[in-house]
A and B are shown apart, each in its own frame.
Chain A
Amino acid sequence: MKEVMLDCYGEACPIPLVKAQNSIKELEVGDMLIVQIDHSCAMKNVPEWARKEGYNVEVEEVDDGEWEVIIEKTK
């Protein structure tokens, strides 16, 4: 089980979402993808997509205007 950090600071929608979709394909089941974002609409659409896929998702506010979306690839 590994953890992959995906730095999307400074990227506007929908780039964080597309990047997250691409990088989760490279991961094994059980791995974690941590998407770092500072664009508030990515805080909505990244978790929304991941939940729809059936992954475990948690959003953490790491600083003012900065979030980490933690996605566990469950399948």
Chain B
Amino acid sequence: MENKKTKFFDRMKSNEYYIKWLKNPFTYVTAAVLLSLFQIVTLAVSKNPWGVSGAFAVWGAWIFEAVGGSVDKWYYFASPGAQATLNGGLLNHPDSWRNFGIIAGALAATLLASGFKLKKIKSFKQVAAAVIGGLMMGYGARLAFGCNIGALYGGIASLSLSGWVFAVGMFLGAIVGSKLLVKFFM
């Protein structure tokens, strides 16, 4: 029985459909088409364009409320819509579930391609860059009312000028970011 099992996975490793669909990464074009299709589904089903980082602010508010805080007076959460989202809870928050789906899907994809690996942290610099960069991106995304998905992708897809403005800002930021990266990590 044991022997048969090993043979099955050995056979699968060289199966052309396994290699094509699960092992090798999709091309950028395939991925772009799939993303476009699924963001249309998202818009149709949830009545909101695709967003990722907006959910983080909601999670933060829930955690803050769980430890006894209140965000009702905060400008960002003061609108009736934001209040309804906060009161609706996790089960009624599509953005949260989509984000969980992204994490679960990424894990599944890397496991199916047997590419999963816990990576070592090489230096304190990596930790510092991740924490500082993460805070800046999160803060910036809330100030801009969206990240590269909600503000850029969703903005441009809904023919909004703000998406293009975001694109220019992000491009300039990426130039600065790459210079910093080469300076501190090379």
B interface with A by C-beta (< 8 Å): 25, 110, 114-117, 119-122, 126, 178, 181-182, 185-186
Q: Which residue in chain A gives the minimum CB-CB distance to B123?
A: A10
Q: Does A74 contact B (CB under 8 A)?
A: no
Which of A15, A18, A19, A38 contacts B119, CB < 8 Å?
Answer: A38
Across chains A and B, the number of contacting residue pairs, with CB separation under 8 Å, is 37
Q: How far is the CA of A15 from the CA of B123 in the complex (A)?
A: 14
Grouping DSSP codes into helix (H, G, I), strand (E, B) and loop, the B interface class, with mixed when no group exceeds half, is loop
Q: Are A65 and B181 in contact (CB under 8 A)?
A: no
Please count how many residues in chain A sit with their CB below 8 Å of the partner chain's CB atoms.
Answer: 16
Q: Are B119 and A10 in contact (CB under 8 A)?
A: yes
Which of A18, A40, A63 contacts B110, CB < 8 Å?
Answer: A40
CB contacts (< 8 Å) of A10 on chain B: these are 119-122, 126
Which of B25, B117, B185 contacts A15, CB < 8 Å?
Answer: B185
Contact with B along A18-57 (1 / 0, CB 8 A): 1100100000000000000011100010000000000000
CB contacts (< 8 Å) of B119 on chain A: these are 9-10, 38-39
Q: How far is the CA of A10 from the CA of B122 in the complex (A)?
A: 6
Q: Does A66 contact B (CB under 8 A)?
A: yes
Q: Which residue in chain B gives the minimum CB-CB distance to A39?
A: B119
Q: Are B182 and A18 in contact (CB under 8 A)?
A: yes
Q: Does A60 contact B (CB under 8 A)?
A: no
Q: Are B116 and A64 in contact (CB under 8 A)?
A: yes
Q: Which residue in chain B gives the minimum CB-CB distance to A40?
A: B115
Q: Does A11 contact B (CB under 8 A)?
A: yes
